[in-house]
Amino acid sequence: MDGNGRWAARRGLPRIAGHRAGAESVRRVVEAAPGLGIGVLTLYAFSSDNWKRPPEEVAALMELFRRHLLSELDRLRANGVRVEIIGRRDRLPAGLAAAVEAAEAATADGRVLRLRIAVDYSARESIARAARHLAEPTTESLAALLGPPVDLLIRTGGEQRLSDFLLWECAYAELIFSERMWPDFGEQDLRAALREFTGRERRFGALPSAAACGSEPPPVRASLRA
């Protein structure tokens, strides 16, 4: 989910225009994901480091997120999408925090797609926070607190780094870096990334083995870095 600001700058538009266009891309990708075999989709909307941006841009982003979350609520619920927000909540504006709680409560029964949105999120902080809750942390207990492992991570905008996103969960993720700016990213781009993903051999440290003939692949757990 990277490239909103650069997309806007190339068109002579303010950065917030790029973020608004990016919100439309979120709708396209969320609607397309279930039909492409994605069961869990994580979007990196706002990192803990993004607080360093100009206050005006941060305030506009928070308001855009609040309005978009509320305006999409009926659509998400009707399509069986379960919304989960990961990251800190104590620094969010009160209106956004209330919208987050409302969205999570209203979509709790969704079974078609688990949509995880990272807001004020830092993977390192999440790992440290999970470890503090455990007397004797193990890989299994930490994994249970942090969330599902990622199968495929897509980063748009041409950058080739994780930027503190799902570091634990991406231990064995396949990584795809796209030159496409996020506002231009759509279903066909997602299809192309999934085709590349399914063509890769995932061994998880073991020797290559023949795939079970005719076996049904499990739902993909995909993440898009903003």
Cβ atoms of 37 and 217 within 8 Å: the answer is yes
Alpha carbons 129 and 115: distance in angstroms, whole number: 22
By CB atoms closer than 10 A (0-12, 13-18, 19+), residue 139 is exposed
Alpha carbons 185 and 179: distance in angstroms, whole number: 10
Which residue in 4, 50, 79, 109 is the catalytic one? 50
Sheet with 152-155: strands ordered across: 81-86, 113-121, 38-47, 220-225, 152-155, 174-177
Residue 79 falls in the annotated catalytic set: no
Residues 6+ away with beta carbon under 8 Å from 65: 45, 46, 96, 99, 119
Alpha carbons 74 and 89: distance in angstroms, whole number: 23
Which residues are paired to 220 by β-bridges?
Answer: 38
Which residues are paired to 221 by β-bridges?
Answer: 40
Which residue in 2, 120, 151, 189 is the catalytic one? 2
Residue 49 falls in the annotated catalytic set: no
The DSSP-derived string for 28-48 is HHHHHTGGGTEEEEEEEEEEG
Q: Is 187 helix (H, G, I), strand (E, B) or coil?
A: helix
**Which residues are catalytic, by number?**
2, 50
